[in-house]
Structure 1
């Protein structure tokens, strides 16, 4: 008689929790509770030491449970990348939410509902389209749009180029409007991802901090207030330069899980990584020196596969294995060294664990996170989905 295992969502709805890691359906996303707790506390301590406000980004995990952990139980002062996330966290009692995504007019009405619902809701602009959208849709009841101006340091991400005259033009028009409360500046500091060690990250942090201070002086010279100087991303906030105590906010997100990308650039050690993907061997192909796993690109994602083929799929306790190809639900695994696979070591049905290259991209593929302490499953978390 065939045995049919329930899906992760069915398990969650029935509140039937697997007992151990070996009991979870595969592929599944595993979260080490002891490590996320440690990562969260370390970032809280870092921000307290530097005297900056921690505004953790929720985009990596999108769960209530980790939102509470990252905010030290306050459920306040967070950042999101989608309006779905903002609405999800507002519904679950969170406040002081920054929608950290270039604002467009098509999203104004949803933003308005959040602005009225929350004590503090902030939006981010990088161009005149976003500013005009706000000026064309003023809030009522004496409320003002709370706005961050995003700066591009030259890495080509979103944000107004830091050396453009539009920085002051946008800021002046926003600060002079009776409908807008301009908080200040946000810099992603994306050049940290070009680093190869912690010292490189610290040097880039100094450059980013100096850039924000330069812009702050330009604000002052133009008789404008700039209350907020914020820097984002996990490398910046994990390996801060001591001079960053002149800033007011840190906006990291990935640090709650970390991943192999963060290890490679020097943000953390491999033991800090708090997530894994579990998968099972489903077939042997000796003619091609590969075996198949039940983890396709919908479980792990392609992110980093072409650029970092050997680090992309780090198999726990099996360092010579790597994923070399995907279909939607199946992965192909061979050796990094080119040696012949020992199929006796990887029998069909055996369980393997992969440390993701980019935990944000992997986590977003999953509807349920299996939380564990040691080998024991202790909880199941359901992340927000959609945009």
Structure 2
């Protein structure tokens, strides 16, 4: 039986699927004439980084300074920290940059630029900084047509220690749609938002080399990348049930799964108990906006075949409760001690609970253990 020597819960990664997912996205970016700057916030792995950048641009996106340091130590030289910077993190960022890294920062706040400039002066260092654009997601960033955009560029241009890198955006609201046509429209909104900001800046006399966009849904379904310099998808490397519902991947293109043991039969409630609970799977139920039959994860046999009738209906800290849509859990087919695999709802959240991947090939042979970085 494959994976028989692993403890549970364990995080499995199918190398072959991951590698193919990376190849497809790299070809899409190159075919469109843009750089792929993969977002490593999901994988957080050197080995996956090498897959994602193979044959292309070697720069990456990260979401924490811990990730930036991890990849800098592995020799990555171009890193975009795509979360708004605060002055208190600049000393840590400097230590990463001192390793020979171009570490690009982002902001949407003029007062922060003033404080960053003063802190960079104190530290005796410099940083490239990009302006974050809100393309409709309503999270961070300034609107492309706002006066704030030019004020930010002026503040960066007049600063002593910061240089203006360009503009970037992220269409996080693309995750609210499940049809290719709807997501393509969001992708166009994303593209036009950041490109129009770049055009405004250039007309005002500011060089704007970086025009960066991207989420996995928009990278997959965009009709055009015209005017962009790069795209920054991330979860495409692994896929998940969210992406399955959105349509960016098929079930057999989900690379990361959670190995779990059956630990009990609750016959009164007709539930299978497993040892993958909220900590092992996360409590993300984002796919529920598309289907009521996903819960906290879909259930597979040990060979990866989806059990169509099963899903993780509920989780406690260390317990998962598997329900059957038909009400028939076939307890005799899944005795206590037997093993199942769970397809995560949101890979980024699920894999964050683990320190390493148990890497296997498509036939099911374990071939490696890959470390990953966690924390901030």
- TM-score, structure 2 length as denominator? 0.92
- Out of 289, 303, 306, the position equivalent to 2:270 is 289
Q: How does 1:95-244 map to 2 (within 5 A)?
A: 95-138=77-120, 144-241=126-223, 243-244=224-225
Tell me by how many angstroms 1:260 deviates.
1.0
Instruction: Name the counterpart of 2:236.
Output: 255
The residue number in structure 1 matching 2:9 is 27
Counterparts in 2 of 1:31-50, with a 5 A limit?
A: 31-50=13-32
Q: CA deviation at 1:167?
A: 1.5
Match of 2:315 among 291, 306, 326: 326
Equivalent-residue separation in structure 2 for 1:271 and 1:291 (angstroms):
24
Supply the distance in 1 between the matched residues of 2:292 and 2:321 (Cα, whole angstroms): 13
Correspondence for 2:345 among 357, 378, 384: 357
Q: Deviation at 1:235?
A: 0.9
**1:366 equivalent in structure 2:** 354
CA distance in 1, matches of 2:101, 2:322: 51
Query: Which ranges of structure 2 fall in alignment gaps of 5 or more residues?
Result: 301-305
Report deviation, 1:137: 2.2
For residue 377 of structure 1, the aligned residue among 345, 366, 372 is 366
2:245 corresponds to 1:267: no
For residues 182 and 233 of structure 2, the distance between their equivalents in structure 1, rounded to whole angstroms, comes to 18
TM-superposed CA distance for 1:195, in Å, is 2.0
Quote the Cα distance in structure 2 between the aligned partners of 1:207 and 1:324.
Answer: 36
Q: Which residue of structure 1 aligns with residue 335 of structure 2? A: 347
Q: In the alignment, which residue of structure 1 is the partner of 2:285?
A: 304
Asked whether the equivalents of residues 129 and 164 of structure 2 are also in contact (C-alpha less than 8 Å), the reply is yes
Deviation at 1:141, TM superposition (A): 11
Deviation, structure 1 residue 357: 0.8
Is 1:54 aligned to 2:36, yes or no?
yes
Alpha carbons 2:153, 2:164 under 8 Å: kept:
yes
Does the 8 Å CA contact 2:2/2:365 hold for their aligned counterparts? yes
CA contact (8 A) 1:76 1:97 kept: no
Name the SS of the counterpart of 2:259 in structure 1.
strand
Unaligned runs of 5+ in 1: 1-18
RMSD: 2.0
Aligned counterparts of 1:66 and 1:348: Cα–Cα separation in 2: 34
The normalised TM-score by structure 1 is 0.89
Deviations 1:232-274 (CA, angstroms, capped at 9, x unpaired): 2111112231x21321011111011011111111222222211
| 1:134–1:145 contact (8 Å) kept in structure 2 | no
Instruction: Indicate the SS of the match to 1:381.
Output: strand
Q: How many residues align?
A: 367
Q: Deviations over 1:310-360 (max 9, x none)?
A: 2231112312112222221111112123x2432112211111111111011
